[in-house]
Amino acid sequence: MTDVADRAPRSSPSGEPAISAWGLTRAFPSGLALDALDLEVYPGEVLALLGPNGAGKTTTVRLLNGVLAPDAGSSRVLGLDPATEGHELRHRTGVLTENAGLDDRLTARENLETTARIRGFDRRTARQRTDELLERFALTERADIAVQGASTGQRKRLALIRALLHEPEVLFLDEPTSGLDPAATRDVIALIGALASEHGRTIVLCTHFLGEAGRLADRVAVLHRGRLQVAGRPAEIAAQMWTGLPVEVDLGGPAPEAVVEAARSAAGVRTADATPAGIHVEVGGRDHLPDVVSALVGAGAAVFAVTPRPPTLEDIYFEIEARIAAEEGRPVGATS
């Protein structure tokens, strides 16, 4: 779990955005998939598009890469309009689809060389580039074996190689770690981090794995049923959502009611609740922590540790979900 405030931003929004969308809307016979999306992603930035299944993440990628046409609104990616200049744009973008999209009957090399040839590489360059990347991604031993027998992790890596064959300026990664075991997930996350930080590539990462987004993204955008709920740096979003500082106090066991009451009466304390390990309080700021500790000690509690816990991306995400559920008048977690 990554705190939203403990990682320096990879890049600062500056200059022209690599990706802009204004009022991007798309409906299917089954309903509205994307509703007036406004979005900006700056060069070298990693943006995580978060949301449950059906939130509109994949539709967003398809619209931004010119695969789908918008019903309303417009967008620019690398200065090009995906709706009218999609062909030119797709020379400069790479996409990892949620399903690896490899032909099982072909070998890894055949899958990759086909893509390279479609991308305009001559036969020799296609072979060289494929060999080079297979080696770099430790897949050389699988090069001439049909993809059918490859593990999910190997498939994802192959699909990632395919997306990187032409060194794209913008990379769309749709659920890059879904179906992977923990070790493969770690490898893929490390690789994506390297792709972003070492090469200044703009990355749009669609995921519902919040840990992954927390580790990789400079900014996040949360989609729900096609609508953008919030976008920004996680710390900024957290600051908008909560003005206080959550703190975990270890008392060696659940706080008795009298201790909880004592905490509530301390200066700067907004909320206080017993937890299995002690007490959780939300204070106005770090300055109030000594008062909280004094109040607890004064009430007879033994304080073993006081740990400020800034909100995580999970906190932000589930708070947004809870607020949406409250607006819709349904219990949190129930399907809308």
Partner 1 sequence: MTAPATRPSAPTRPTGRNWGAIAAIIKKDLTAVRRSKAVMIPMLAVPVLLLVILPLLIGLAARAQTGDMSSFLASIPDGLSEPILALPAEEQLIVLVNGYLLAPLFLIVPLMVSAVLAADAFAGEKERRTMETLLHLPIENRDLFIAKLLGAFLPAVAVSWVGFLCFCVVANTVAWPVMGRIFVPNSLWLVMILWVAPAVATLGLGVMVRVSVRARSTQEANQLGGAVVLPLIFLAVGQSTGLLLLDLPVALAIGAVIWVLALALTIRGARRFTRDQLATRI
Binding site for partner 1 (CB under 8 A): 28, 62, 65-69, 86-88, 90-91, 93, 95, 97, 99, 101-106, 110, 113-115, 117-122, 125, 129, 132-133, 136-138, 146, 157, 159, 162, 164-167, 187, 190-191, 194-195, 198-199
- Report the relative pairing of strands 202-207 and 170-174 from DSSP bridges: parallel
Minimum distance of partner 1 from residue 213's CB (angstroms): 19
167 vs 181, beta carbon nearer partner 1:
167
Name the minimum Å distance from CB 50 to partner 1. 21
Task: For residues 238 and 316, give the distance between their C-alpha atoms in angstroms, rounded to a whole number.
Answer: 6
Nearest distance, CB of residue 196 and partner 1, angstroms: 9
Q: Which is nearer to partner 1, 122 or 273 (CB)?
A: 122
Q: Give the whole-angstrom CA distance, residue 111 versus residue 150.
A: 13
- The least CB distance from residue 138 to partner 1, in Å, is 6
**CB–CB of 175/206 below 8 Å?**
yes
DSSP conformation class of 248: E
Q: Minimal distance in Å, beta carbon 66 to partner 1?
A: 7
Alpha carbon 320 to its chain centroid, in Å, reads: 15
CB-nearer residue toward partner 1: 82 or 214: 82
195/223 with CB nearer partner 1:
195
Q: Which is nearer to partner 1, 177 or 312 (CB)?
A: 177
CB 306 within 8 A of CB 263: no
Residue 308's CB: how many other CB atoms inside 10 A?
A: 13
- Reading the block at residue 272, the tokens are 């206080």
Shortest distance (Å) from residue 51 CB to partner 1: 19
Which amino acid makes up residue 120?
G
For 21-50, give one letter per residue: b (16+ CB within 10 A) or e.
beebbbeeeeebbbbebebbbbbbbbbbbb
Q: How far is the CB of 265 from partner 1 (least distance, A)?
A: 54
Nearer to partner 1, 47 or 112 (CB): 112
Alpha carbon 6 to chain centroid distance? Answer: 16
Q: Which is nearer to partner 1, 66 or 214 (CB)?
A: 66
Minimum distance from residue 307 beta carbon to partner 1 (Å):
34
Q: In DSSP terms, which residues pair with 321 in a beta bridge? A: none
Do 162 and 126 touch, CB atoms closer than 8 A? no
Q: Where are the beta strands (DSSP E) in the chain?
A: 19-28, 31-41, 46-50, 72-77, 93-96, 170-174, 202-207, 219-224, 227-232, 245-250, 269-275, 278-283, 305-308
**Given the complex with partner 1, which of 58 and 229 has the nearer CB atom?**
58
